[in-house]
């Protein structure tokens, strides 16, 4: 039986990153990949969606070329070629991870791992089974789309994020169940492909976990593009009408309506993938595996990270948790917690870090906020991308930055400036005195800081 | 010409001394050999005598100051002579008159300027700077030195620490709440203090201040601190194993009874079981050289001489004077030396030499109701013998139950240097020797 210092179950951004860090710490590592190197992020999530979003961004640019004085007489696109390019992108990155595993001398097992309490792992795949022994185990099993039990749902076809990026034909209309991050990004893709998109969200707003101002702004922006949005609306059932699917919707005031569509996307959240850990005896916290601050489960030496433990179900959150778990296994002190940034790649993008305004108030902070619109930013006007704002949420006494919310083109690339400030515990005063290059959209962050101190130059 | 008074370097490990008392005021006259001041090192309190005759012209430090070795702490000279207002740097050129001492200080100081090992450049630094840098995980090469030839001093390292110690937010909160940042343990890289560290510090301080009336807090310092540090070093570095064996003391008691009046008449001291044990142990070292060894890095050093360290309890601490060449001394001489050293230890009058060089130690708790215990090795030694009380116990001898005086010996050994079997063989031989003590005469 092969023995390892560490066995990691799942090769997503939690698992494979933890594997590399553990190898660099000098541990011998087995990575049980489930034949899914890169996990949901690479194969069915972040990367496929960003690839498709880039494709439709090009379409948007062509469609809007006239505003820049450019006439495009004719253009067409092929969904098959787009999906083909997506598959190539995924393959390139997958090969990259494969090379990293090899380079770091990590043994990758392509089967499904079942973990026992004594830290043996039985790996089954391709008709054979192998057992390995580990000193420590990190569970990084990830998650899968949650499918609610609703009348008629089994009788109709529906997409999830697992299947939508391999779609073969652009549907003429699509009902999206769920107005969260996944629902909105896919809505933007198909909106640009001229599909009639209707989003049905149960909460009182889309992006319910983000700052309310971002939700409101995005609702206006998406509606302007022709995306239908129903909030406070519950889907109560599905039925077939010939080739069409009928979706029954009930509003908060109990009024009912039906939507007829030729495609449905279910995007109401994700549930942990518990395959192979059913009999392990770890304690759960609701649907999720319960862990301590070092990511250790209630079974000594068995850790859990990523979507399996809830929290932010984000790739980089899983990576951070993986590294934290490895740090503990290697016997070092864990670094202080750092805020996790969140990105939504819609048109325009939404990016945020730290607390929302509501959360900061709920935590009892005395806060002040400052929001500056990108509409007046030189670079944004030159680029013709003037949608959005940057909002600073700061505590009043010390000027501690509690949260930053950005909406606009390319803000997912700019949020790290705010994250760096919060990670290094910088204050608004320093944001005011830091020099931002001109012309850039990022100047808006500095302006927000100055304006918060009532020293704004272009904003007050 | 005025002469410097230096902080003496009393042992190879001594880096600084704490000034306990000045025996002279500025302006007092001083004779050669007259005690000038008293210091405490990590091992001992000692009175330092004047090498010069004259007037104490200058005292640079007050009581409780911690002063690096070879630092100038004062001047002795003729009345009215001019001396610097501030203490000159250790090892700096102080003029012709101090040539000899200066040379010595330079030599000592440069011995500490070893290569840092991180690059090709020699990093010059004082021992104190080195220590702080090590504790705070600062790369000395990155510190700008203010001393001669770029030598890094304590304050150079501190400057670096002060300037990088806290996040802007932590700095601001600490200033606002009146928190001394240097007292806050930072959780960031290189001990950088973060907001949560400051807040935790203030809550911790608040929590501590509540039951302050219920407890008495004693600062670990001086000998207590030295004992504490040494114990931590020993238990963390040395894999200890303790073997115990019960000794039938019938014959040793007879031997002691017989020798007691003879030795008392000869030396004025009463022989105790400790000296008999010392004698027995020393005689066995030839056959068990590993027990009389030191561990020096990756080498086991087999010591030719047998110097037995004797653990002596003193006020708030433990001192281990060393009985030199115990294997060459008879019981009368061992008794005399042991008793003298014990008394000097309790009176705090041991010289550094009397405390150094032990190769094996004995710790006797037999005067208490203690049978066996796990003695902690006195590094760099590789073994220590713990001695329990003698108590009458029923034992089976030739199938009959008899009452015999029994003593338990506990031998702790460093498993890096000695394995279980040879250590057990030593203890077995020791038992044999004590149960048939006439072997001591051979």
What is the DSSP annotation of A107-118? Answer: EEE-SEEEE-TT
Of the candidates B5, B40, B9, the residue with the CA atom closest to the CA atom of residue B24: B5
Look at residue B146 in the predicted model and tell me its pLDDT: 78
Contact A364, A395 (CB under 8 A): no
User: What is A2-144+271-329's CATH number?
Assistant: 3.50.50.60
A353's tokens: 């870090």
How do A244-251 and A112-115 pair as beta strands? Answer: unpaired
Residues of chain A with CATH 3.50.50.60: 2-144+271-329, 153-268
Distance CA(A214)–CA(B98), nearest Å, equals: 77
pLDDT bin (cut points 50, 70, 90) of residue B122 is low
Cβ–Cβ of A336/B169 closer than 8 Å? no
Cβ–Cβ of A430/B188 closer than 8 Å? no
What DSSP designation does A440 have? -
Block residue for tokens 């030729």 = A262
Q: Is residue A158's pLDDT more than 50?
A: yes
The class that CATH gives domain B3-112 is mainly beta
CB nearest A398 (choices: B173, B188, B196): B173
The mean pLDDT value for A248-258 works out to 93
Helical pair A181-192 and A46-63, crossing angle rounded to 10 deg:
40
Distance CA(A429)–CA(A290), nearest Å, equals: 40
Contacts of B275 (CB under 8 A, 6+ apart): B331, B334, B335, B338
B394's tokens: 């029923």
pLDDT bin (cut points 50, 70, 90) of residue A127 is confident
Look at residue B272 in the predicted model and tell me its pLDDT: 92
- B137, B164, B165, B168, best to mutate vs chain A, most A CBs in 10 Å: B168
- A401, A425, A428, A430, best to mutate vs chain B, most B CBs in 10 Å: A425
Of the candidates A170, A162, A187, A8, the residue with the CA atom closest to the CA atom of residue A77: A170
Cβ–Cβ of B176/A398 closer than 8 Å? yes
Q: How far is B169 from chain A (nearest CA, A)?
A: 5
CB nearest B194 (choices: A397, A399, A425): A425
The mean pLDDT value for A154-167 works out to 96
More confident residue, A377 or B441: A377
Q: Is residue A141's pLDDT more than 60?
A: yes
Least confident stretch, A101-110, B209-218, B227-236, B377-386: B209-218
Cβ–Cβ of A427/B187 closer than 8 Å? no
pLDDT bin (cut points 50, 70, 90) of residue B90 is low
Q: Is residue B138's pLDDT more than 80?
A: no
Contact A39, A141 (CB under 8 A): no
Please give the backbone phi and psi of residue A173, each rounded to the nearest 5 degrees, phi first: -145, 160
The mean pLDDT value for B30-58 works out to 83
Look at residue B89 in the predicted model and tell me its pLDDT: 66
How do A302-304 and A128-139 pair as beta strands? Answer: parallel
The mean pLDDT value for B377-400 works out to 93
Look at residue B148 in the predicted model and tell me its pLDDT: 75
Of the candidates B176, B175, B185, the residue with the CA atom closest to the CA atom of residue B205: B185
Look at residue B104 in the predicted model and tell me its pLDDT: 39
Distance CA(A188)–CA(A222), nearest Å, equals: 8
Cβ–Cβ of A427/B172 closer than 8 Å? yes
Q: Could you state, in order of their start, the residue ranges of all structural domains in chain B? A: 3-112, 165-211, 224-441
Look at residue A159 in the predicted model and tell me its pLDDT: 97
* pLDDT tens by residue, B285-325: 999 999 999 888 888 999 999 999 999 888 878 889 999 99
Q: State in Å, rounded, how far the first CA of chain A is from the last one.
A: 68
More confident residue, A66 or B313: A66
Chain A residues in contact with B172 (beta carbon < 8 A): 398-399, 427
Using the Cβ of B175 and the Cβ atoms of chain A, whether some distance falls under 8 Å is answered with: no
Surface of B (182-241) touching A: CB under 8 A: 187-189, 194-196
* pLDDT tens by residue, A171-216: 999 999 999 999 999 999 999 999 999 999 999 999 999 999 999 9
Look at residue B103 in the predicted model and tell me its pLDDT: 37
A149's tokens: 């039990």
**DSSP for A3-43?**
EEEEEEE--STTHHHHHHHHHHTT--EEEE-TT-TTHHHHH
| Chain centroid, CA B308 distance in Å | 16
Contact B410, B361 (CB under 8 A): no
The mean pLDDT value for B171-196 works out to 84
Chain A residues in contact with B170 (beta carbon < 8 A): 425
Contact B48, B30 (CB under 8 A): no
CB nearest A425 (choices: B170, B176, B189): B170
Distance CA(A65)–CA(A48), nearest Å, equals: 26
Q: Is residue B49's pLDDT more than 90?
A: no
Look at residue B335 in the predicted model and tell me its pLDDT: 94
Of the candidates B17, B22, B126, B31, the residue with the CA atom closest to the CA atom of residue B74: B22
Using the Cβ of B45 and the Cβ atoms of chain A, whether some distance falls under 8 Å is answered with: no
> For residue B130, what are the CA distances in angstroms to A200, B108, B143?
66, 15, 11
- B164, B165, B167, B169, best to mutate vs chain A, most A CBs in 10 Å: B169
- Residue numbers in the known binding site of A for NAD(+) are 178-185, 201, 269
Q: Is the pTM of this model over 0.80?
A: no
A285's tokens: 């916290």
Look at residue A317 in the predicted model and tell me its pLDDT: 97
Which residue is closest to B189 within chain A, CA to CA? A335
Of the candidates A8, A46, A439, A373, the residue with the CA atom closest to the CA atom of residue A213: A373
Distance CA(A277)–CA(A141), nearest Å, equals: 9
- Collect contacts of B82-85 with beta carbons under 8 A, ≥24 apart: B82/B2, B83/B2, B83/B57, B83/B58, B84/B58
Q: Which helix (H) or strand (E) holds A303?
A: strand A302-304
Instruction: Tell the burial category of A346 from Cβ atoms under 10 Å away from its Cβ (0-12, 13-18, 19+).
Output: buried
Bridge partners (DSSP) of residue B308 are B323, B360
User: What is A348-452's CATH number?
Assistant: 3.30.390.30
Cβ–Cβ of A426/B194 closer than 8 Å? no
- CATH 4.10.320.10 fits domain B165-211: yes
Q: Which residues of A touch B (CB under 8 A)?
A: 333, 335-336, 397-400, 424-427, 430
Contact B317, B228 (CB under 8 A): no
Using the Cβ of B173 and the Cβ atoms of chain A, whether some distance falls under 8 Å is answered with: yes
Q: Which helix (H) or strand (E) holds B322?
A: strand B322-323
Q: What is the mean pLDDT of chain A?
A: 96
What DSSP designation does B344 have? H
Of the candidates A14, A35, A42, the residue with the CA atom closest to the CA atom of residue A310: A14
Which residue is closest to A397 within chain B, CA to CA? B173
Distance CA(A295)–CA(A291), nearest Å, equals: 5
CB nearest A427 (choices: B168, B187, B189): B168
Contact B54, B30 (CB under 8 A): yes
Bridge partners (DSSP) of residue A318 are none
A269's tokens: 């959240």
| Chain centroid, CA B397 distance in Å | 45
Distance CA(A29)–CA(A4), nearest Å, equals: 6
B295's tokens: 């561990």
Look at residue B161 in the predicted model and tell me its pLDDT: 66
- Residue numbers in the known binding site of A are 50, 113, 178-185, 201, 269, 307
Instruction: State the fold for domain B224-441.
Output: Chloramphenicol Acetyltransferase (3.30.559)
Chain A residues in contact with B195 (beta carbon < 8 A): 400, 425
- CA torsion sign for A360, A405, A316, A204 is positive
Look at residue A136 in the predicted model and tell me its pLDDT: 97
CB crowding B3-37: b at 16 or more within 10 Å, else e: bbbbbbbbbeebbbbbbeebbbeeeeebeeeeebb
Contact B20, B41 (CB under 8 A): no
pLDDT bin (cut points 50, 70, 90) of residue B112 is very low
Q: Which helix (H) or strand (E) holds B410?
A: strand B400-414
Instruction: State the fold for domain A153-268.
Output: FAD/NAD(P)-binding domain (3.50.50)
Distance CA(B292)–CA(B158), nearest Å, equals: 43
pLDDT bin (cut points 50, 70, 90) of residue B96 is very low
* pLDDT tens by residue, B271-288: 999 999 999 999 999 999
Cβ–Cβ of A399/B194 closer than 8 Å? no
């Amino acid at each position: 039986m092969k023995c390892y210092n560490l066995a990691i179950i799942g090769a997503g951004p939690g698992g494979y990153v933890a594997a590399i860090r553990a190898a660099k710490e000098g541990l011998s590592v087995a990575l049980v990949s489930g034949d899914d190197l890169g996990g949901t992020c690479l194969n069915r999530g972040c990367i496929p969606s960003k690839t498709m979003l880039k494709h439709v961004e090009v379409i948007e640019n062509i469609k809007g070329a006239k505003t820049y004085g450019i006439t495009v007489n004719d253009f067409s696109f092929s969904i098959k070629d787009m999906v083909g390019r997506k598959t190539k992108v995924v393959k390139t990155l997958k090969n990259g991870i494969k090379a990293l595993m090899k380079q770091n001398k990590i043994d990758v097992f392509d089967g499904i791992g079942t973990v026992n309490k004594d830290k043996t792992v039985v790996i089954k795949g391709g008709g054979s089974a192998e057992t390995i022994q580990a000193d420590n185990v990190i569970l990084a099993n990830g998650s899968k789309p949650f499918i609610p039990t609703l009348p008629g749902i089994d009788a109709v076809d529906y997409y999830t994020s697992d299947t939508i990026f391999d779609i073969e034909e652009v549907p003429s209309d699509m009902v999206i169940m769920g107005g969260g991050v996944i629902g909105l990004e896919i809505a933007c893709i198909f909106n640009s492909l001229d599909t009639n998109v209707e989003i049905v969200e149960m909460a009182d707003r889309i992006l319910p976990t983000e700052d309310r101002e971002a939700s409101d702004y995005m609702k206006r922006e998406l509606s302007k593009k022709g995306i239908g949005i129903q909030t406070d609306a519950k889907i109560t059932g599905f039925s077939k009408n010939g080739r069409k699917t009928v979706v029954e919707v009930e509003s908060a005031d109990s009024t009912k309506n039906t939507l007829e569509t030729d495609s449905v996307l279910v995007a109401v959240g994700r549930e942990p993938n518990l395959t192979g850990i059913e009999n392990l005896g770890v304690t759960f916290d609701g649907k999720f595996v319960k862990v301590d601050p070092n990511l250790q489960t209630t079974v000594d030496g068995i850790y859990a990270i990523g979507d399996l433990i809830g929290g932010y179900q984000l790739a980089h959150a899983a990576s951070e948790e993986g590294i934290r778990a490895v740090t503990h296994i290697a016997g070092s002190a864990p670094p202080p917690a750092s805020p996790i940034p969140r990105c939504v790649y819609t048109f325009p993008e939404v990016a945020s870090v730290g607390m929302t305004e509501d959360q900061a108030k709920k935590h009892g902070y005395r806060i002040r906020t400052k929001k500056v619109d990108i509409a007046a930013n030189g670079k944004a006007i030159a680029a013709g991308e003037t949608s959005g704002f940057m909002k600073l949420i700061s505590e009043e006494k010390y000027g501690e930055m509690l949260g930053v919310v950005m909406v606009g083109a390319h803000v997912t690339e700019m949020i790290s400036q705010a994250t760096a400030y919060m990670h290094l515990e910088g204050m608004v005063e320093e944001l005011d005195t830091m020099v931002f290059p001109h012309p850039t959209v990022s100047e808006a962050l500095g302006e927000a800081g100055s304006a918060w101190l009532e020293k704004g130059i272009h904003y007050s | 010409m005025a002469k410097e008074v230096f902080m003496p370097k009393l042992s190879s490990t001594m880096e600084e001394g704490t000034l306990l008392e000045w025996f002279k005021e500025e302006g007092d006259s001083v004779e050669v050999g007259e005690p000038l001041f008293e210091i405490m090192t990590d091992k001992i309190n000692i009175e330092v005598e004047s090498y010069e005759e004259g007037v104490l012209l200058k005292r640079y430090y007050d009581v409780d100051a911690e002063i690096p070795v070879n630092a100038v702490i004062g001047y002795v000279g003729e009345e009215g002579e001019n001396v610097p207002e501030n203490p000159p740097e250790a090892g700096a050129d102080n003029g012709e008159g101090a040539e000899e001492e200066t040379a010595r200080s330079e030599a000592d100081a440069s011995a500490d300027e070893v290569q840092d090992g991180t690059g090709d450049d020699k990093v010059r630094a004082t021992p104190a700077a080195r220590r702080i840098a090590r504790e705070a995980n600062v790369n000395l090469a990155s510190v700008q030195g203010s001393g001669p030839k770029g030598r890094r001093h304590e304050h150079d390292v501190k400057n670096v620490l002060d300037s990088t110690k806290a996040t802007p937010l932590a700095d601001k909160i600490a200033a606002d709440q009146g928190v001394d940042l240097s007292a806050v343990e930072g959780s960031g890289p290189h001990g950088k203090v973060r907001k949560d560290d400051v807040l935790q510090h203030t809550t911790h301080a608040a929590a501590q201040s509540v039951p302050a009336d219920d407890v008495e807090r004693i600062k670990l310092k001086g000998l207590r601190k030295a004992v504490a540090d040494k114990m931590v070093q020993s238990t963390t570095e040395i894999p200890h194993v303790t073997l115990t064996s019960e000794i039938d003391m019938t014959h040793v008691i007879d031997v002691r009874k017989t020798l007691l009046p003879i030795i008392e008449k000869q030396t004025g001291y009463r022989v105790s079981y400790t000296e008999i044990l010392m004698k027995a142990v020393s005689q066995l070292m030839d056959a068990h050289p590993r027990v009389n060894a030191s561990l020096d890095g990756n080498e086991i050093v087999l010591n030719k001489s047998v110097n037995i360290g004797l653990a002596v309890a003193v006020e708030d601490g433990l001192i281990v004077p060393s009985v030199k060449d115990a294997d060459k001394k008879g019981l009368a001489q061992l008794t005399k030396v042991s008793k003298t050293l014990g008394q000097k230890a309790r009176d705090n009058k041991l010289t550094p030499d009397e405390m150094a060089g032990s190769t094996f130690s004995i710790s006797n708790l037999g005067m208490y109701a203690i049978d066996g215990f796990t003695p902690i090795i006195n590094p760099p030694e590789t073994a220590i013998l713990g001695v329990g009380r003698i108590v009458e116990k029923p034992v089976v001898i030739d199938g009959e139950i008899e009452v015999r005086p029994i003593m338990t010996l506990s031998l702790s050994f460093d498993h890096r240097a000695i394995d279980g079997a040879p250590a057990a063989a030593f203890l077995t031989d020791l038992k044999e020797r004590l149960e048939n003590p006439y072997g001591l005469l051979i």
